[in-house]
Amino acid sequence: MAAMQAVSRTRVSEVAPRQFWRHVAWRRFCANWGAVVAAVFLLVMYATAAGGPLLSRYSPNAVDIANTNAAPSAEHWLGTDESGRDVLARLIAGARTTMTVGLIAMIIAIVIGALVGSLAGYCGGWIDSVLMRFTDGMMAIPYFFLVLVAVAALGPSFHNIVVMIGLISWMVVARIVRGEVLRYRGVDFVLAAQAIGAKPARVLARHILPQAGPVLIVAATFGVANAILLESALSYLGLGIQPPQASWGNMLSNAQAYVWENPRLPIYPGVLILCTVLAYNFLGDALRDALDPRYREGNM
């Protein structure tokens, strides 16, 4: 640690500081074995989601009334559910749904958050106060009920869910981006860019927002974790992804209905949600340690 700090003080004289930092960040990240395990786990999950139907002999929605609630066997590795559907095939199909929802919802949240945050931070004045009061207001509302009402009203289709989750998750990003914009607004390289006549949009996009990159990556990682939790909660409540399309959340709500007949059923989707969210949180934490200079001392 001491050696690394000594190195970091000489950063200014480095020839290629950006490359150097990438190197340091990468080394810091790899030193954290928990995060490496998490990253590998997530890669496997995404590969599974992408491979999807190729990975199982069974269709996730194929009903087999003669073979319901079967125990794990050579044919059905994880058994079958209350309609005789192969649990493993449904888990794989669910991985595709859940991982996609998490990613897209996070992208929506980042885009809105970055727009609101940079507008507020760059323009300042009344635009700033209006946008930030709005952000605070959104944070103060029990957003879960807004989603609930919206989903009940607009209907629980796949992209309604994704958009809704994105629309209620941008506030933290907006605050972070605003903070970063304020930090860099008066810095020399930004003033220089403004002096040679760069338009505000260019100054923001080319000079200020890239500085916020590391912080955004960290926020995005935690964002995916939250989006996945939210999606599974909504699907569990019957307001998210609708059956027969499998999602880990709606598999759990079925599982609870048949818990007396087949107590094994709730274990698998729950463990997968837990591990995926845990992996994202671990990853976010490690990325924050590796990328964000304010957490370098390791006090969070």
Q: How far is the CB of 227 from another protein (least distance, A)?
A: 13
Site for another protein in 245-274 (CB under 8 A): 249, 252, 255-256, 259-260, 263, 266-267, 269-270, 273-274
C-beta separation of 208 from 182 below 8 A: no
Nearer to another protein by Cβ, of 50 and 267: the residue is 267
Nearer to another protein by Cβ, of 144 and 189: the residue is 144
Alpha-carbon dihedral 63, 67, 73, 75, rounded to 10 degrees: -50
Q: How far is the CB of 270 from another protein (least distance, A)?
A: 4
Helix pair 125-140, 171-185: axis angle to 10 deg:
150
Q: How far is the CB of 151 from another protein (least distance, A)?
A: 8
Q: Does 139 bind another protein (CB under 8 A)?
A: yes
Task: Build a one-symbol-per-residue string for 143-172: x at contacts with another protein by CB under 8 A, - elsewhere.
Answer: xxxx-xxxxxxxx-----------------
Task: Build a one-symbol-per-residue string for 177-216: x at contacts with another protein by CB under 8 A, - elsewhere.
Answer: ----------------------------------------
Q: How far is the CB of 238 from another protein (least distance, A)?
A: 7
Q: How far is the CB of 291 from another protein (least distance, A)?
A: 18
Q: Does 236 bind another protein (CB under 8 A)?
A: yes
C-beta separation of 110 from 219 below 8 A: yes
Nearer to another protein by Cβ, of 208 and 276: the residue is 276
Distance (Å) of CA 97 to CA 65, 80, 259: 25, 20, 24
Nearer to another protein by Cβ, of 44 and 192: the residue is 44
Q: Does 282 bind another protein (CB under 8 A)?
A: yes
C-beta separation of 250 from 97 below 8 A: no
C-beta separation of 92 from 52 below 8 A: yes
Residue whose tokens read 């559910």: 81
Selected range binding another protein among 73-81, 103-111, 123-131, 138-146, rule: CB under 8 A: 138-146
Q: Other C-beta atoms within 10 Å of 140: how many?
A: 9
Distance in angstroms (rounded) separating the CA atoms of residues 160 and 105: 10
Count Cα atoms within 13 angstroms, Cβ side, for 189: 12
Nearer to another protein by Cβ, of 80 and 254: the residue is 254
The residue length of the chain stands at 300
How far from the centroid of its chain's Cα atoms is residue 12's Cα? 34
Question: What phi-psi label fits residue 69: left (phi over 0), alpha (psi between -120 and 50 degrees) or beta?
Answer: left
Among 32, 97, 232, 250, binds another protein (CB under 8 A): 232
Nearer to another protein by Cβ, of 75 and 297: the residue is 297
Q: Does 239 bind another protein (CB under 8 A)?
A: yes
Distance in angstroms (rounded) separating the CA atoms of residues 25 and 285: 13
Selected range binding another protein among 56-64, 90-98, 183-191, 237-245, rule: CB under 8 A: 237-245
Alpha-carbon dihedral 275, 276, 281, 285, rounded to 10 degrees: 90
Residues at the contact surface with another protein, assessed by CB under 8 A: 137, 139-146, 148-155, 225, 229, 232-233, 236-239, 249, 252, 255-256, 259-260, 263, 266-267, 269-270, 273-274, 277-278, 281-282, 285, 299-300
